Amino acid sequence: MAELDRRPEGMSDETVEALGSLSKALETTERARGHLFSFHQLTGTADLELDRAVRLLREAGHPEWAERVEREILGRNVIPGHWTFQIVESYDMTYYQPFKDLERAAVERLAGGRDHVFEAELKQARRTHGHPDHTEGPEDGDVSRGPGRA
């Protein structure tokens, strides 16, 4: 096992589990942030498509509906005072970055900067020692070799 994957001396099982849980929570937050970016991009794409809808409504002889779409929906805030980019920025500043900073500080202080100690120990417990596809780390096998490749 690589030195950075090893549990620092004196680190308790409870601390390993707690940091594993903190890491899992941060990973879930990363996914939530990704969904915010999806929300941002999908909403922006829809807003840009409204330009085409407005043009087509005018061409179809419905200028009153084209004007209504422009006035009521095109460029509208998604929540009071905010476009989607502002929601992402607020999330980043208010929640995401402080969470990342706290998780990093906890790993530095409690695990000597070693990430994923919980997962590294889980890998050791679950792998089949001696099996070519269950190596301890990349240095133990040729990672360019896949199944059926010699």
Cα 120-101-19 angle, rounded to 5 deg? 30
pLDDT digits over 109-140, tens only?
Answer: 999 888 888 887 788 888 888 888 888 877 75
* Tokens 């360019």 -> residue: 144
Rounded distance between C-alpha atoms, residue 129 and residue 127, angstroms: 6
Q: Which two tokens stand for residue 59?
A: 């061409």
The predicted model scores a pTM of 0.77
Rounded distance between C-alpha atoms, residue 100 and residue 113, angstroms: 14
pLDDT band at 145 (very low <50, low <70, confident <90, very high): very low
Cα 110-115-119 angle, rounded to 5 deg? 110
Stretch 79-88: mean pLDDT, rounded? Answer: 97
Rounded distance between C-alpha atoms, residue 140 and residue 150, angstroms: 16
Rounded distance between C-alpha atoms, residue 45 and residue 38, angstroms: 10
Tell me what pLDDT residue 141 has: 53
User: How many CB atoms within 10 Å of residue 19?
Assistant: 21
Tell me what pLDDT residue 5 has: 59
